[in-house]
Amino acid sequence: MNTHYCVIMAGGIGSRFWPLSTQTKPKQFLDILGTGKTLLQQTFDRIKKVIDPENILVVTNAQYLELVSEQLPEISRENILLEPSRRNTAPCICYSTFVIKKRSPRATIITCPSDHLIANEDVFYKQLNTALDTASEHNILLTMGIQPNRPETGYGYIQFKDSKLNTDPDVKAVKTFTEKPSAEIAQQFLDSGDFLWNAGIFIWNADSIMNSFEKLLPDMYSTFESGWNDYGTSTETSFIDKTYPTVENESVDFGILEKAKNVYVIPGRFDWSDLGTWGSVGREVEPDTHGNATFSKKLILHQATNNTIRISKDKAAVIAGLDGYIVIDNDNKLLICPADQEQLIKQFVNDLKMEFGEDYI
């Protein structure tokens, strides 16, 4: 029996990608970079080269069942786990781990986001297999880090030290986690050489993550454990619908990884972006001679520099005199925002909701 599994987390709203990403169709279901495949489809295609498709699960909000089924026809319905409410990554991971453990008690599990970009995939596969081998042999919590190439303030950082594991030298022990540092601190991290970006890709065996939940998030653990007899049966949905909204709204990073003593990291040697902001998308395309990253066919620029611009394909646009802006158009929605304020887009969306309701978000 193949005991390697993957959980793809696909329940987020992606509000920092407004106005292209909306509540009805978030960014993981969009072809952000114009590749012909959505971010979710790219993630699935990447993972199925390492994990048998029948062992790949997608956890998403209940309202996105049709989107997941449509975009991933290879995924069986029983492998789509539906969240009735949004409760961050810890409940998502706890729920999916119980489901997998009931199917395969000795499973080793990759847990990854649905909306990241990875290049140098051969390197990624090699390091992912190293991680699977390590996690299957040791009761550890393993994450993948990315060597930083700039003092990024929008990512979390992992500080590593030499590992005491008798295993691959690429596997390092985690010393500290730091969330979204200031520009000054981020530069210090970059200069030190012993900090990595937190890619949010986790690898562990079912027992190691279960034990961590039992010890560090005992209420969440006991809530999901009470549904053991329901998993994989006709009563699973009703159990989850009833209990899921009652558990803590907690991230696995804060609830588990920052507190556990058995956390390790593999410094990833592949190119990676979490595509978390329009600025990060702009870095993935070749800019014009004036530094503009554009995703539009009918666009005329005059004295416009260092902008990220995406205009709907059925519209023509002229943009003049802008420097360092994000300009995104989608149907009846438009964002014009200084690039250095892109971290505020989530707040802008909240303001829009308060002022005009949910029709535009």
Specify whether the CB–CB gap between 158 and 135 falls below 8 A.
no
**Cα(72)–Cα(250) distance, rounded to whole angstroms?**
28
Query: What is the predicted pLDDT for the residue at 280?
Result: 84
pLDDT bucket at 16, cuts 50 / 70 / 90: confident
Determine the average pLDDT of the residues in 320-326: 96
Work out the pLDDT band at 354, boundaries 50, 70, 90: very high
DSSP state of 37: S
In this structure, the number of other CB atoms found within 10 A of the CB of residue 292 comes to 22
DSSP 8-state code for residue 344: G
Q: How far apart are CA 117 and CA 33, in angstroms?
A: 10
Q: Which residue has the higher pLDDT, 346 or 101?
A: 101
pLDDT at 1 over 80: no
Instruction: Over range 51-79, report the average pLDDT.
Output: 97
What's the pLDDT score for residue 167? 63
pTM for the model stands at 0.93
pLDDT at 13: 86
Q: Is the pLDDT of residue 166 over 80?
A: no
Cis previous bond, 338, omega within 30: no
**Mean pLDDT in the chain?**
93
Beta strands in the chain (DSSP E): 4-9, 56-61, 80-83, 108-113, 117-118, 141-146, 157-161, 172-178, 195-205, 263-268, 272-273, 293-294, 299-302, 308-310, 317-320, 325-330, 333-338
Instruction: Please give the single-letter amino acid code of residue 319.
Output: I
| Percentage above 90 pLDDT, the chain | 78
Q: Minimum mean pLDDT among 77-86, 158-167, 249-258: which range?
A: 158-167
Q: Report the pLDDT averaged over residues 242-264.
A: 95
- Residue whose tokens read 């556990």: 260
Spell 83-104 as b/e; 16+ CB within 10 A means b: beeebbbbbbbbbbbbbbbbbb
pLDDT band at 153 (very low <50, low <70, confident <90, very high): confident
Closest to 251 in 3D by CA, of 262, 259, 261: 259
Write out pLDDT tens, residues 180-226.
889 999 999 999 989 999 999 999 999 999 999 999 999 999 999 99
For the stretch 269-286, pLDDT in tens is: 888 988 888 888 888 888
**Segments of 114-251 assigned E as strands:** 117-118, 141-146, 157-161, 172-178, 195-205
Strand partners, 273: 117
Domains of the chain: 4-276 (3.90.550.10), 279-360 (no CATH)
Among 143, 123, 103, CA closest to 50: 123
Residue pointed to by tokens 């990676």: 272
Q: Please say whether the beta carbons of 202 and 110 come within 8 A.
A: yes
The SS3 assignment for 265 reads: strand
Instruction: Encode pLDDT of 327-342 as tens digits.
Output: 999 989 999 999 999 8
Which residues, other chains included, contact 354 with Cβ-Cβ below 8 Å and sequence gap of 6+?
none
- Average pLDDT estimate for 148-173: 84
Q: Which of 196, 28, 206 is nearest to 111 (CA)?
A: 206
Where residue 343 falls among pLDDT bands split at 50, 70, 90? confident
For residues 41 and 261, what is the distance between their CA atoms, to the nearest angstrom? 35
- The C-alpha atoms of residue 102 and residue 100 are separated, in whole angstroms, by 5
Phi (first) and psi of residue 212, to 5 degrees: -65, -40
Percent of the chain as helix, strand, coil, to the nearest 5: 35, 25, 40
